[in-house]
Amino acid sequence: MRSGSNVCGIVAYVGPQDATPILFEGLQRLEYRGYDSAGVAVVGKSGQLRVRKAKGRVRDAAEGLPARFKGAPGIGHTRWATHGEPSDANAHPHVSGTVAIVHNGVIENADELRAKLTADGVEFASETDSEVLAHLIAAAAADPDVDLAEAVRLALTRIVGTYGIAVVDASRPGVCVVARNGSPVVLGLGDKEMYAASDVSALAGHTRQVVHLDDGEIAALTAGGYRTFTLEARATTKEPSELDADAASYDTGGHATFMAKEIHEQPEVVERALRGRLDPRFHTAHLGGLNLDPRDARAIRRVKIIGCGTAYYSGQLGAQLIEELARIPADAEPASEFRYRNPVVDPDTLYVAVSQSGETYDTLAAVQELRRKGGRVLGLVNVVGSAIARECDGGIYLHAGPEISVASTKTFTATGVAFALLALYLGRIRDLSPADGARIAAGLRALPGQIQEILDREAEIATLAAELAAHRAAFFIGRVRGFPVAREGAQKLKEISYLHAEAYPASELKHGPLALISPDLPTVAVVPDDELRDKNLTTLGEIRARKGRVIAVGHSAVADDTIVVPKNEPELDPILLTVPLQILAYHAALSLGHDIDRPRNLAKSVTVE
């Protein structure tokens, strides 16, 4: 079976230093993007290509590295496979002659190209589609009049698919070539040295100036600088931007895991997300990045939110906020479904794309389809300069800071706050009164302190989590505002504890799922003190009547085990109700001994289909 590189981390260096430690440091930071195999290739001082790669973690590839393994330029890769089993042979870099490449993406016409290369006498050492690209570049580079950048460009014109690549050639020292199409590549500018990576986390501590490549763009890097050009060989001009995070942002900060750190960062994250965005004079939100004036905002007749996984569930929460506060019909849909069903794109609809990384391939492709059909698209993203951020007409940056753990926590909360700000802005332009605007603004300001109150109860939640982990499965239920909370809670539990978890609207329980209720299947119920409290209590009674165990999350004790959460405004309560479910999932996984930051089969940023 052909094996794709797919979701992974790439790092490259060219300059006077030994590339090896720089590459392995970068790969350690990128390991959250892929951790099935890893490898590096460097060009030695005498012009030989040195390659080290292995199945497993980055530390496995680095272990026992000989002292002579030095050189520059160099490239590195950490891989998360979506096709075929990880192996030493399938690990990157891939080599053809003096050329080594690392690749993130999928080459769709790899089988056809492989057949042609095999017929020409090329022997393949792996099952990967990526190796095809290595042989194509090497063939183009066989012409001594063709430099490495041109060889890469010529090879890429034969490729159909997605890629983020970095290439070195031992016969052409002093240069590294990178390229992007559907998979991120960022350049880092140093002092007489250059870096590149698939994520800025690998560049922090080395540079403060970065350049984001666009799709279809290639960059040739030397110690003295870089040049960029298109697949058609047309030169492009790129302006560097400031990297907004330092190396300390990418360590655990004294916590046992990144997920624990990111859960505990949420009070600060919410404060940062709100900073400068609340207008006390008119009791509205100040969102200059929307590029949406009041006249255009009043013309909106519907809001459609798209995202994947946690971003989709936050979109459901956002749709509820927009309908309640702005009285505009709103709904959310998985971006992966939206882009394939040939949707009707309405000029009166505002589309909102949600993505932590800003590189999620399904969401990016949906945005591009919307733009092609004339839709107005806003982005809610966390990574400044990311592809979705650049594609959208405007948007809201989350300012949550780097999120390393695969299971998203603080960006879900930051996205909920961003949707509340958007709903407040749209509502105040329409029919939301100044008094209600002031009420929502006050509620938003109260969130950081209330989240801290929940974090202070972590030990109590951990006890319940250990009991939950003793079961093989769980139900999560919520009604209306509580349903997106239940879905996100189930997502977190299944992602990191590997317990089966299903979320249902509480009102749907009696329409089938109630058949599964037993003492062995606990239910986590989201029960805020709102207008639906009595109906939720009726549902809990149905569960208890069948001897089902209930763990409730709400504002008052409604079950034998209730995680009590501070009460905010009803519209904002879902943001708070999600936090204890994050802690519940974390401690369930911890009690089971799982690798919480790197759950099996998952990667942080899904940049392929």
Active-site amino acid positions: 8, 604
Specify whether the backbone of 174 is left (phi greater than 0), alpha (psi in -120 to 50) or beta: left
Residues 141/24/181/155 CA torsion (nearest 10 deg): 10
Residues 300/303/304/306 CA torsion (nearest 10 deg): 110
- Token couple for 14: 């060219």
Name the one residue in this structure whose structure tokens are 């906020």.
321
- Token couple for 393: 């007409």
Specify whether the backbone of 245 is left (phi greater than 0), alpha (psi in -120 to 50) or beta: beta
- The dihedrals phi and psi of 90, each to the nearest 5 degrees, come to -85, -10
With beta carbons less than 8 A apart as the criterion, state whether 425 and 350 touch: no
What is d(CA 584, CA 465) in angstroms, rounded to the nearest whole number? 5
Q: What are the Cα distances from residue 144, in Å, to 79, 117, 174?
A: 32, 21, 16
Helix, coil or strand: residue 563: strand
Please, which residues have CB within 8 angstroms of residue 311's CB and are 6 or more apart in sequence? Answer: 354, 355, 356, 360, 363, 408, 415
Closest CA to 3 of 86, 61, 76: 86
Integer-rounded Cα radius of gyration of the chain: 25
Element (H, E) at 313: helix 310-326
**Which alpha helices (DSSP H) does 430-526 contain, by range?**
434-455, 458-468, 482-497
What is d(CA 311, CA 292) in angstroms, rounded to the nearest whole number? 22
With beta carbons less than 8 A apart as the criterion, state whether 417 and 432 touch: no
Asked if omega into 73 is within 30° of 0 (cis), the reply is yes
Asked if omega into 240 is within 30° of 0 (cis), the reply is no
Angle between helices 310-326 and 482-497 (to 10 degrees): 170
What is d(CA 417, CA 447) in angstroms, rounded to the nearest whole number? 9
First to last CA, the chain: 18
Angle between helices 310-326 and 573-591 (to 10 degrees): 160
With beta carbons less than 8 A apart as the criterion, state whether 170 and 177 touch: no
Please, which residues have CB within 8 angstroms of residue 188's CB and are 6 or more apart in sequence? Answer: 194, 195, 196, 197, 200, 203, 206, 207, 209, 210, 243
DSSP 8-class letter at 107: B
DSSP string, 152-199: HHHHHTT--B-EEEEEEETTSTT-EEEEEEBS--EEEE-SS-EEEESS
What is d(CA 253, CA 275) in angstroms, rounded to the nearest whole number? 23
Specify whether the backbone of 177 is left (phi greater than 0), alpha (psi in -120 to 50) or beta: beta
